[in-house]
A and B are shown apart, each in its own frame.
Chain A
Amino acid sequence: MSDNLVRVAVDQELCIGGGICEMLEPEVFELDDDVVISSVISNGLLPRNRAEVVVDRCPGQAIAIVEENLDKER
């Protein structure tokens, strides 16, 4: 079940703008050049195992999984 799609979101209050998310998942996260806060670009979908890694590695604990099991929707 580890590759089920989930949706991630960034809490911009908590983001410290280090860019770990953009490094790990450049298709999903992008740092704004002016305010240096991460936002979700694209539809925010990631396989669950990869989503769990960014959630875990985000130093600001700013990323969360907000929707589960969005099976293969695009």
Chain B
Amino acid sequence: MRSTVDMAPSAVVETPNVTDPSLYLQGIPHGRLAQLRAIGGLAWHPYEDGGFWAVTRHAEARYVSRNPELFSSAIGHTNLWDLEADALEARRSLIDTDAPDHTRLRRLVAGAFTPKNIRRWEQVVREITIELLDEFVVQGGGDWVDMVAAPMPIQVILTMLGVPIEDSNYLVELSNYLVEGTGDAQSIPPDAFGNTTELRLLPFNSPASHALFEYGEGMRQQRRHDPQDDLVSHLVQAEYEGERFSLSEYRNMFHLLVFAGNETTRTALSHGAMALAANPHEWRRVLDDPSMIESATEEILRWATPVMHMRRTATTDTELAGTEIAEGDKVVMWYASANRDEAVFEDPFRFDVGRADNEHFAFGGGGPHLCLGAFLARLEVTVLLEEMAKRSLCLEQTTEPVRARSNFVHGVLSVGMQPRSDR
């Protein structure tokens, strides 16, 4: 670990702060990130009682992502702060694991998320989307997050997992408590849902995680005897080289699947709607030529960058961009910055639905941890655009967005939209 004493003084003085969560109430601090990109080498960014190397350019985020033997996901945590060893162990999921465990776990679940197997769920995604959009139009608009962006992904993943309709409100409630756990305030007591586990041992320090574990375990028991065509049955039956999920691996995976695609996809759908409302000529291009929906989907993902960073920890002394990194140093990839890197994206602050060769890092910079749900998330954005295009639905933004106070998820808590029929 590094103290500020052995740092080049210039790095300490000049590093603009990009972690203060309240900055994000006004949106991503792009000016500060651009300053960091312009610094040669890597910038050392103070954080709590230590700091991290801020990786803000596309090329280096790519390198860190693709060299997991140098930059570990299993040490410390993949968020900015370290977890205590026992908490990390109890909470460990796919996302904070290195090979060979990671390879084994990922292969057990990956089959359900290949492009081909995700396309099987297209009709489910479409039905859910149609229902929400029709309601939005009938109501003459309202809070886009509440009416479309939030319910769509949670309904999709619950259907895929095989959660019965009558339980879905309960799981939506749990998932909302988890989202809360990523912010500063928990509104439920530590013993909610009969929880007796110390909160720091639970994902997001939330008693709702305990409830989700219990629910997932119930489903596992049930599917063991009566397998269905759903994700839980896939997890129960999955076998790779004779190995299956252990109980704690299963429940962390169930939890990750319920959570990982929710706030993220919701964020993409919210920023997507905002970008289309703010750039009506870009949406017009899509309406005139629906074959642009594919590139528009990628541009929305780049534009939204729902997950603004991920952290790794150096496994050994190494060097990147001419900067010496010591074993144990935190290395944080700022996707929010890489996705605006002027060295890679022409006119990066322009929202361009026809952008060609859009190698954005919304799903990470590649490497083994690349978002498992990437094709599902793409499908959700694409189907929404298709259904909007079918209705020639244009959006007009009626209120300023209320943004999440978070340096991690680029969240939108609410934003008013109304349908505009100029066609």
Footprint of B on A, CB under 8 Å? 16-20, 22-23, 31, 33-37, 57-61
Which B residues have a C-beta under 8 Å from some C-beta of A?
Answer: 65-66, 103, 106-107, 110-111, 113-117, 240, 359, 366-368, 370, 372, 374-375
Q: Are B115 and A19 in contact (CB under 8 A)?
A: yes
A36 close to B370 (CB less than 8 A): no
Q: Chain B residues with Cβ under 8 A from A33's Cβ?
A: 111, 114, 116-117
Q: Are A17 and B114 in contact (CB under 8 A)?
A: yes
Q: Which residue of A lies closest to B370 (CB)?
A: A59
21 A-B contacts (beta carbon < 8 Å): A16-B103, A16-B368, A16-B370, A17-B106, A17-B107, A17-B110, A17-B114, A18-B110, A18-B370, A18-B374, A19-B116, A22-B115, A33-B114, A36-B110, A37-B107, A57-B366, A59-B366, A59-B367, A59-B368, A60-B367, A61-B66
How far, in whole Å, are A37 and B374 apart by their CA atoms in the complex?
17
* Minimum CB distance partner of B118 in chain A: A19
CB nearest neighbor in A for B240 = A35
Whole-angstrom CA separation of A36 from B367 in the bound complex: 16
Besides A31-B115, A35-B240, 4 other A-B contacts (C-beta < 8 A): A16-B103, A19-B113, A19-B116, A23-B375
Mostly helix, strand, loop or mixed at chain B's interface?
Answer: helix
Q: Which residues of A contact B367 (CB under 8 A)?
A: 59-60
Check A35 against B107 for contact (C-beta < 8 Å): yes
Q: How far is the CA of A14 from the CA of B402 in the complex (A)?
A: 43
Q: Which residues of A contact B359 (CB under 8 A)?
A: 57
Q: Nearest Cβ distance between residue A66 and chain B, in whole angstroms? A: 20
In the bound assembly, the distance between CA atoms of A35 and B114 in angstroms comes to 11
Cα distance A72–B103 in the bound complex, in angstroms: 38
A-B contact count (CB 8 A): 52
| Residue ID in chain B nearest A31 by CB atoms | B114
Residue of B nearest to A58 (CB): B366
Chain B residues near A60: list those with CB within 8 A: 367-368
Docked complex Cα distance between A6 and B107 (Å): 29
Cβ-defined contact, B114 with A36, below 8 A: yes
Q: Which of chain A's residues have a CB closer than 8 A to the CB of B116?
A: 19, 22, 31, 33
Complex Cα distance, B375 from A18, in Å, reads 9
Complex: A7 Cα to B375 Cα, angstroms: 27
How far, in angstroms, from A18 to B367 measured CA to CA in the complex?
A: 10
Q: How far apart are A38's CB and chain B's nearest CB, in angstroms?
A: 9
From B372, which residue of chain A is reached at the shortest CB distance? A18
B107 to chain A minimum Cβ distance, whole angstroms, is 6
Question: In the complex, what distance in Å separates the CA atom of A22 from the CA atom of B370?
Answer: 15
By the criterion CB–CB under 8 Å, are B107 and A36 in contact?
yes
User: A19 to B375, Cβ gap below 8 A?
Assistant: yes
Give B107's nearest chain A residue, CB to CB: A36
Residues of B within 8 A of A34 (CB): 111
Q: Report the Cα distance A68→B192, complex, angstroms.
A: 63
Question: Measured between alpha carbons, how far is A13 from B116 in the docked complex, in Å?
Answer: 22
Nearest B residue (CB) for A16: B368
Complex formed: what's the CA distance from A31 to B114 in Å?
8
User: B66 contacts A16, CB within 8 Å?
Assistant: no
Quick one: closest A residue to B371, CB to CB? Answer: A18
- Residues of chain B within 8 A of A36, CB atoms compared: 107, 110-111, 114
Find chain A residues with CB under 8 A from B115 CB: 19, 22-23, 31
**B103 touching A22 by the CB < 8 A rule?**
no
**Closest beta carbon of chain A to B117's beta carbon, Å:** 8
